[in-house]
Structure 1
Amino acid sequence: MRVIRTSPNQADWISIIEAGYNLEGNDSQWLRRVLDQAAPLLGRGTNPLGWTFHCTPTTFNLGSFSEGTPKALTYLARMSHTLATEKSLDLTYRTGTVIATASELVFPRLPDMHKMFKNLLKSRMRDLLVINCQSGVGSGASIGVLLKETSKATDQEKRRWPQIAAHLGAAMRLRSIAAALSLENSTIEAVLESDGDVYDARGPAKDRDARATLRAIVRRIEHSRTREGRENVDEALANWEGLVSGRWSLVDYFDSDQRRFIVAIKNDPAYPDPRGLTPRERQVAEYVGLGRSSKEIAYTLGLSESAITNCTARVQDKLGMASRTELVSFFAPNGFRRKLAEKSISDERFLIASSSLINTKDFENLSEAEREITVLMIAGSTNADIAEKRGVSEYTIANQVQSIFRKLCVRSRGELVVKLQKPGK
């Protein structure tokens, strides 16, 4: 299968999305195509550098650099990441920030990193603009531009780059399956003509409402790609959301006769979850943890803002959290949820906290049953989930939970998480 998007002669915001969804070649070649379209729009500093990465709560690994990057610049980028502290990596990659300069995000908090930056650059450059495009499943791509003067991301950049990042993140997920894509692949659930007519549909795409939605979205995207449509940038970006109905990416496909179709590929972030959250609820919670607003999440997942708000409320209710702030803290890439370890105990799968994070003295007043329930609560299991695992009624679990709260002097699960962390963690 050959998947490709063509770009206009003059770079614009829509052309970056088109370059992102050109899935041909390796990561270095893909990054180069994206940078070629992005460079004129960044319009300051040096030519941009692109790199891929994989980031977990405890590890960070650089991947490929954009094709044609000077060796000296690649060396500089690798060295700066090698010398970076864990706190610096947290600020850059684990806060969910899409676009910022180092002088905004890192240097004020970590003066030593500012000193290291100046030493590496020999004072030739004073700042660094970084754009992070997270895939939502641990991988991502970044664009960096060295700046001659201290600067800040503009309001326009802060408005538009998160939308671009949603597409580049979706493209990163697609790239992992691109080599195996064919019209027969089960992940392709609809084939449409460029006018929106549905040529073929399978699975959920066979539903009449789903076909109508796909048809309408294809027509909106096709308009955004015209010369006229590109002129109103914000409207064009709004028309081309990160996913369709929280499920599909729409990508060009050319058959052997060079006839162009648009294929709808199942490309929603997949999250296994042992805590009773639905896949959609887990997706939303992950993006909430990245600090995304409901509006930004709605764009990324191709859902309505009200659907995101309602989903967030359900997650809070299931996890017994009193506010969105607690939810953000729990699901943040460097938050408590990411520091839980998965263990098998008596043939049961548990998410438990590392001993270095837990103040074990607080467990002394709890019974064995209460300790086990506390572990499950920390992992986010609902009362119903815990009752099912323990073979008792939900009413019994509710009483035990209240007993745990009284003994630990907390009022909610969010407070419980904070209470059980060691001082200074």
Structure 2
Amino acid sequence: MQTKPFEFLQRAYDLDLTHSQWQSEVVDGLSALFPAAEARFGFVYEFENGAISLPHAHHSPDGVPSSLVGDVIQELGSNHKAETARLFDTIQCSTLSKRLEELEANHVAQLFRENGIVDCAAICAGNASGMGFFFGAFLDAPTTLQASFRRRWLAVASHLAAIRRLHVTLSGSDPLENAEMVFDPEQSKILDLRGSAQTPTTRERLRRAALNLDQLKLATVPDDERLSRWQALVAGQWSLVDVFDSDGRRFVIALANSPEGQKFAGLSQKQAQIVWYLLQGHSQTFIGYELGLSQSTVAYHLQRARQVFHALDDSELIARIGTLLHGESGSAHLQDLEILVAVDRPDSIPDDLPEALRETLTMILSGESPKQIAMDRGVSIKTAQNQIADLYRRFDVNSRHELVARLKSQ
């Protein structure tokens, strides 16, 4: 039976499932993609400092032995920490035979050969938060996945990474109680707004996204188009999920689910998120899908990041970050970037500022205009202007130049 991505994800977003139930549901659904595979398996994982741990036993409808999964993970974690990060600290859909050769993970390749495994198709849903999901299918011949297949299931993997974060952050609590927006699809209106979702701009953005998702469930458009229109996040901050109350009424709720990323001087949180995905080798199109941003918004934030690091293009941005971190060109992971301090920026931002003002101040110091700050933070221009004025009053200054000078003098 063919696995349809949109329908598969609707089942995967069931937050009533336990961690192990969700793992089994996802593995069984993805297994249908590779009916001719010799064996299929999957597991949720936690990843830190190059080491992988499995909070639950892996699931395999074909009985892949735990010893083999454990041996591979132990080998990767013990001897290939940097390479392991490139496998599990990102989102990807690929086959592993070529990847293992590129990463020089020869002992893992040898383990595969000893067990008669020629190749392994892999769908990895990882992110900077250090948690993810991995699915593998053992193949009896070297395989190249078609580009259309990879695009489709790469998009699915971005959703799986978001769902995995939700399961961990909610930890069994009621999703409705944690929702920042509650939308009633029957009445096509928002019933409740909380937290950062209360600004007029964000309210309208979430309302449109909820309407779009609800319409896709009833649409007769092709499944790939439905998937492309259902982005993993809204504005890089919220996941939309169906929930039911005790009376069986369905609601679409927005849950805060921003990917974790280190903050560092000169870049806003959203810019840091985008840079992290860029460092993982993802295109601007995929970054936009993953974070629920337009491609023009992604391009704008990358332009700001290039200005901070004095880079002419994205390749030079990656190279400059690698040079600053390691003394040579190369990729770098975002968790390392916290040691970087942008040129001509104050050494620190006062800790006693409210979070909204801290974010606004960071963007001011990056040279963003009130309009750009509003777009970046998902607030109205008037709100951004009021927060800038509040900062000027707090520091008793009248301009950005005076504000930077005041911070440097403290």
Q: TM-score by structure 2 length?
A: 0.74
Note the 1:263-302 alignment, pairs <5 A.
Answer: 263-302=253-292
Which one of the candidate residues 301, 304, 310 is aligned to 1:311?
301
Give the whole-Å Cα distance in 1 for the aligned partners of 2:349 and 2:248: 55
SS in 1 for 2:282: coil
Task: Report deviation, 1:38.
Answer: 1.9
Query: Which residue of 2 is the match for residue 184 of structure 1?
Result: 177
Query: Which residue of 1 is the match for residue 142 of structure 2?
Result: 150
**Matched-pair contact (CA < 8 Å) for 2:241–2:253:** yes
* Percent of aligned pairs with the same amino acid: 24
Query: Which residue of 1 is the match for residue 386 of structure 2?
Result: none
SS in 2 for 1:249: strand
Query: Which residue of 2 is the match for residue 140 of structure 1?
Result: 132
Write the deviation string for residues 36-95 of structure 1: whole angstroms up to 9, x where unpaired.
22222334313531112222354333443444656652221111222234065245235x
Query: Which residue of 1 is the match for residue 45 of structure 2?
Result: 53
Write the deviation string for residues 157-188 of structure 1: whole angstroms up to 9, x where unpaired.
21111211111111111111222334333xx2
Give the whole-Å Cα distance in 1 for the aligned partners of 2:208 and 2:19: 32
**Matched-pair contact (CA < 8 Å) for 1:290–1:328:** no
Note the 1:72-111 alignment, pairs <5 A.
Answer: 72-84=64-76, 85-86=79-80, 88-94=83-89, 96=90, 98-107=92-101, 110=104
Write the deviation string for residues 228-285 of structure 1: whole angstroms up to 9, x where unpaired.
24xx122101110011122211111111111111111111123341323211111111
Query: Which residue of 2 is the match for residue 193 of structure 1?
Result: 184
Give the whole-Å Cα distance in 1 for the aligned partners of 2:53 and 2:202: 39
Which one of the candidate residues 117, 120, 126 is aligned to 2:114?
120
Give the whole-Å Cα distance in 1 for the aligned partners of 2:25 and 2:215: 23
Which one of the candidate residues 148, 161, 164 is aligned to 1:169?
161
SS in 2 for 1:28: helix
Q: TM-score by structure 1 length?
A: 0.71
Structure 1 residues 245 and 64 mapped into 2: Cα distance closer, same or farther (>3 Å)?
same
Query: Which residue of 1 is the match for residue 56 of structure 2?
Result: 64
Letter in 1 for 2:185: S
Give the whole-Å Cα distance in 1 for the aligned partners of 2:336 and 2:199: 39
Structure 1 residues 16 and 106 mapped into 2: Cα distance closer, same or farther (>3 Å)?
same
Letter in 1 for 2:94: A
Give the aligned CA root-mean-square deviation in angstroms: 3.0
Structure 1 residues 385 and 107 mapped into 2: Cα distance closer, same or farther (>3 Å)?
same
Structure 1 residues 90 and 296 mapped into 2: Cα distance closer, same or farther (>3 Å)?
same
Letter in 1 for 2:342: S
Letter in 2 for 1:19: R
Give the whole-Å Cα distance in 2 for the aligned partners of 1:61 and 1:387: 35
Task: Report deviation, 1:340.
Answer: 4.6
Q: 41-50 or 243-252: which moved more? A: 41-50
Structure 2 residue runs without a partner (length 5+): 351-410
Give the whole-Å Cα distance in 2 for the aligned partners of 1:61 and 1:381: 35
SS in 2 for 1:262: strand
**Matched-pair contact (CA < 8 Å) for 1:288–1:327:** no
Q: Give the number of the structure whose alpha-carbon radius of gyration is greater.
A: 1
Note the 1:314-325 alignment, pairs <5 A.
Answer: 314-325=304-315
SS in 2 for 1:48: strand
Q: 278-287 or 47-56: which moved more? A: 47-56
Structure 1 residues 48 and 24 mapped into 2: Cα distance closer, same or farther (>3 Å)?
farther
Give the whole-Å Cα distance in 1 for the aligned partners of 2:335 and 2:250: 46
How many residue pairs align between the two structures? 339
SS in 2 for 1:98: strand
Query: Which residue of 2 is the match for residue 20 of structure 1?
Result: 12
